[in-house]
A and B are shown apart, each in its own frame.
Chain A
């Protein structure tokens, strides 16, 4: 099972918007609306930010939004804040009761 493909890094200035892509295949991400996104600060456990591709858990800022088209899912963060600087990972159900993560994207707030 190959990892989902994410850009290694993205950056943006405070107040701007950024989008992180996550590309899979028709066997995993493209076949299921079960993509989730996680934020991980250094030395901390990942935290759920988006589930089922577009839904936000209670307590997550509405500056975070998700979408999906075909084999690619995207996470958009609007109104960037310094505290958004972290690593972001996508994850998808991959069939056969297995899951797969993306390689991760480092977000730098300039």
Chain B
């Protein structure tokens, strides 16, 4: 089925370790997004990419970097993980009208 695929689904990191969260979509969408979800905080935008080759900061970009590798793929990198980055991370994509996002099933990250 068409959709957004995120890997890995679960990850435990030690403080200071680095890792990259992968996201790919097969709906030919131009726009892609990374959100984090924390209890009682809803979904907060980390970074987004309006098109291949462009990225912009969202509400909570500190401690993260992103790469729009091609139209399908948008990765999120933690260079030096901190316990405050323990969260569930969601990738999403949308068409040019941005009328409704399609979300992946999330990556559950714990930093100890």
Q: Do A and B bind each other?
A: no
Chain A positions near chain B (C-beta within 8 angstroms): none
